[in-house]
């Protein structure tokens, strides 16, 4: 296979800490292999910065295989960059051409304050999960799978919702900075299974309340979240959450 | 959970938008149907009879109060949501905005709604206000609304504003119709497909028929 090195101009958001004012700084990187991932390209840039005695760019990452949800970069106007159903760590440099200028920004949302450079604080998501994203039944030992019959469609829909990796791209993409796609994935995943049933009503009510408290906006069904989600979480989960919420509102004590 | 809590969370506020929006959609069906009587080509006899039934009858007049209440709730809640949502991005916005994942009119409901609101002010001033004033705001004698339409729609500027108002309504409904059903919890794929198709149809046909009314008078398509 032909190995091609490309030269790029990067405009990267640099910010010392949460309270300081940030700014874009322009960097040049040369001879970047198109087989590199976007994060590997950042590693190269950071080594270059260290050699120049400059401070490397802070960015979040962990698994680098598309499953942990840490890599949060808003690349050229789209969370996780130009590819569909993809995370930043799985974005490869063949998505770009020699001479391109790439603008990289952190997730922008009041509820996700910038900690440093491209790193934002996403603990708001953890607190939303703590408000109800669990089941409090004693699961005991693993039981025979067939002893708990679950409709195939529900099992599939629940599994599809459980794919959410909590990356926050949906919030970053939404004009309202709404966390509804994330929240609806968490609510749907449990609402569709018998294990989630005992806390079904309190879960949706408490998680919505926590989401509002964290300072996320209200959903207006624009669909920007679904279009950028690396796990293709469906917008219909939001409608399911709305139904769960309305039923809880009408029937709870 | 109190009723107040149900309707004041972010999801609850959207439920209010959705219920009032669907209520306004139902009103539009009545309104467009009745006004279409102008095309009976009978010099407004049929239209004026319909308008007289709506304006001089206690039941529609009580419903009218409900309509204003719903409209005002929709407008205030809508504008407040728009402002609140805008503030959630934080102090710094994006240098490159993300516009590929959603339709422009889905992102512009506040703007489209504001244009509709401005149009509505003119619209009420043109017809509702003089008519109700003539009635002493009770069940008094009405003005000839057909003749009023002929008069109002002889002004080109007014006709243009009405057409722009209808265009905004069309785009507002292109998003709003199907969104309202998602908001009240319709997540079944088959039903969503029906509401989306129905929504686009409604968003094109109803505002188009409305827009044809001032155009018909201005260009003399009815006699
Ligand atoms: C006859 C006139 C109108 C009709 C039929 C109508 C209908 C609707 C519908 C069906 C929705 C969707 C609700 C949902 O997504 O759950 C909506 C949303 C909205 N409307 Fe209206 N509306 C009208 C007038 C107005 C006016 C005058 C304003 C404001 C000044 C306005 C502002 C909004 C806003 C801001 C939203 C929220 C957008 C969203 O949640 O996606 N609307 N409208
Ligand atoms: S719904 Fe999608 S975009 Fe949002 S947090 Fe989950 S995986 Fe990320
Ligand atoms: S680093 Fe884990 S998903 Fe990208």
Q: Look up the ipTM and state it.
A: 0.92
Three-state SS for A109? strand
Q: Based on the fold, state whether residues A197 and A225 are members of the same structural domain.
A: yes
- CATH number for the domain spanning A190: value is 1.10.1060.10
| Distances from the Cα of B174 to the Cα of A76, B103, B125, B160, angstroms | 29, 10, 27, 21
CATH of the domain at B205: 1.20.1300.10
| Number of independent structural domains in chain A | 2
User: Taking chain A (253 residues) in consecutive chunks of 10 residues, what is each chunk's mean pLDDT?
Assistant: 84 97 97 96 98 98 97 97 97 96 98 98 98 85 82 95 98 97 97 91 96 97 97 97 96 85
Ligand 1 pocket residues where CB is under 6 Å: A 220-221; B 14, 17-18, 21, 24-25, 28, 74-75, 78-79, 81-82, 109-110, 113-114, 116-117, 172, 176-177, 179-180, 183
How far apart are the C-alpha atoms of B146 and B129, rounded to whole Å?
15
Q: Which helix (H) or strand (E) holds A29?
A: strand A23-33
Ligand 3 in reach of A87 Cβ (< 6 A): yes
- Which residues pair with residue A78 across a beta bridge? A75
Two tokens, residue B172: 């507002």
| pTM score, whole prediction | 0.94
Question: Which range of residues forms the domain containing residue B116?
Answer: 3-95+103-218
- Is residue B223 a part of any domain in this protein? no
Among A70, A98, A115, the domain boundary falls at A115
- Which ligand number lies closest to the CA of residue B22? 1
- CA B56, CA A228: separation in Å to the nearest integer? 54
Can you list the positions of beta strands (E) in A45-107?
A: 74-75, 78-79, 101-105
Q: Are residues A60 and A157 in the same domain?
A: no
pLDDT at A98: 96
Q: Are residues A192 and A237 in the same domain?
A: yes
Instruction: Identify the pLDDT of residue A144.
Output: 83
**Domain end residue (candidates: A81, A98, A115):** A115
Q: Pull the structure tokens for residue A54.
A: 């400059």
Give the pLDDT score at A63. Answer: 97
Domain shared by A35 and A67, yes or no = yes
The total of other beta-carbon atoms located within 10 Å of residue B221's CB is: 11
| Contact of B148 with B132, CB cutoff 8 Å | no
In this structure, what CATH number is given to the domain that contains residue A19?
3.10.20.30
Same domain? For A128 and A101 the reply is: no
Total residue length of chain A:
253
- Tell me the residue range of the domain where A66 lies: 6-115
Query: What span, in angstroms and rounded, lies between the C-alpha atoms of A174 and A109?
Result: 9
User: Which residues on adjacent β-strands are paired with residue A6?
Assistant: A32
Helix (H, G, I), strand (E, B) or coil at B135: coil
The pLDDT of residue A253 is: 78
With respect to residue B87, please indicate whether it lies within any of the assigned structural domains: yes
Count of domains observed in chain B: 1
Torsion of CA B127, B131, B133, B135, to 10 degrees: -160
Same domain, A22 and A40: yes
In terms of domains, do A154 and A241 share one?
A: yes
Q: What is the mean predicted confidence (pLDDT) over B135-162?
A: 93
Give strand pairing partners of A37.
Answer: A92
A156 and A204 belong to one structural domain: yes
Query: Is residue B85 within 8 Å of residue A211, measured between CB atoms?
Result: no
Asked if the structure places residue A1 within a domain, the reply is: no
Q: Is A185 in the pocket of ligand 2 (CB under 6 A)?
A: yes
The nearest CA of chain B is from the CA of A108 a distance in Å of: 6
* Closest CA–CA distance from residue A129 to any residue of chain B (Å): 17
Reported as a single tens digit per residue, the pLDDT across B53-73 is 898 889 999 999 999 999 999
């Amino acid at each position: 296979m032909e190995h091609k090195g490309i030269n790029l101009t990067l405009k990267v958001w640099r910010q010392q800490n949460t309270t300081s004012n940030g700014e874009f700084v322009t960097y040049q990187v040369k001879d970047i292999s198109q087989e590199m991932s976007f994060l590997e390209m950042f590693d190269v840039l950071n080594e270059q910065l260290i050699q120049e005695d400059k401070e490397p760019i802070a960015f979040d990452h962990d698994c680098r295989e598309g499953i942990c949800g840490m890599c949060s970069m808003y690349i050229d106007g789209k969370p996780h960059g130009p590819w569909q159903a993809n995370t930043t760590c799985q974005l490869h440099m063949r998505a770009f051409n020699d001479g391109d200028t790439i603008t990289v920004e952190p997730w922008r949302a009041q509820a996700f304050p910038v900690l440093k450079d491209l790193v934002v604080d996403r603990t708001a998501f953890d607190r939303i999960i703590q408000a109800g994203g669990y089941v409090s039944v004693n699961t005991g030992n693993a039981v025979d799978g067939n002893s708990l019959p679950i409709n195939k469609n529900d099992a599939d829909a629940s599994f599809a919702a459980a794919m959410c990796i909590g990356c926050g791209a949906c919030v970053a993409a939404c004009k309202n900075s709404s966390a509804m796609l994330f929240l609806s994935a968490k609510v749907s995943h449990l609402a569709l299974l018998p294990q989630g049933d005992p806390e079904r009503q309190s879960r949706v009510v408490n998680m919505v309340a926590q989401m509002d408290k964290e300072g996320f906006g209200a959903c207006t069904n624009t669909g920007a979240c679904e279009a950028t989600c690396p796990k293709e979480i469906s917008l219909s989960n939001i409608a399911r959450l709305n139904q769960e919420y309305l039923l809880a509102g009408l029937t709870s004590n | 959970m109190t009723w107040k809590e149900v309707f004041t969370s972010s999801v609850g506020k959207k439920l209010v938008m959705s219920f009032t929006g669907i209520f306004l959609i139902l009103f539009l069906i009545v309104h467009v149907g009745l006004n279409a009587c102008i095309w009976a080509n009978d010099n407004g006899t049929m239209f004026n009879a319909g308008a007289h039934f709506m304006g001089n009858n206690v039941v529609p007049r009580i419903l009218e109060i409900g309509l204003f209440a719903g409209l005002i709730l929709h407008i205030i809640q809508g504008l407040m949501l728009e402002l609140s949502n805008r503030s959630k991005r934080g102090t710094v916005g994006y240098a490159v905005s993300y516009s590929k994942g959603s339709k422009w009119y889905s992102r512009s409901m506040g703007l489209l709604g504001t244009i509709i609101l401005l149009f509505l002010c003119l619209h009420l001033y043109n017809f509702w206000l003089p008519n109700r004033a003539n009635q002493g705001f009770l069940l008094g004698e009405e003005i000839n609304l057909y003749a009023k339409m002929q008069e109002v729609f002889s002004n080109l500027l007014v006709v243009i504003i009405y057409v722009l108002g209808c265009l905004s309504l069309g785009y507002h409904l292109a998003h709003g119709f199907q969104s309202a059903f998602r908001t009240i919890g319709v997540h079944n794929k088959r039903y969503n497909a029906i509401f989306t198709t129905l929504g686009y149809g409604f968003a094109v046909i109803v505002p188009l028929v409305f827009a044809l009314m001032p155009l018909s008078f201005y260009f003399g398509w009815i006699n």
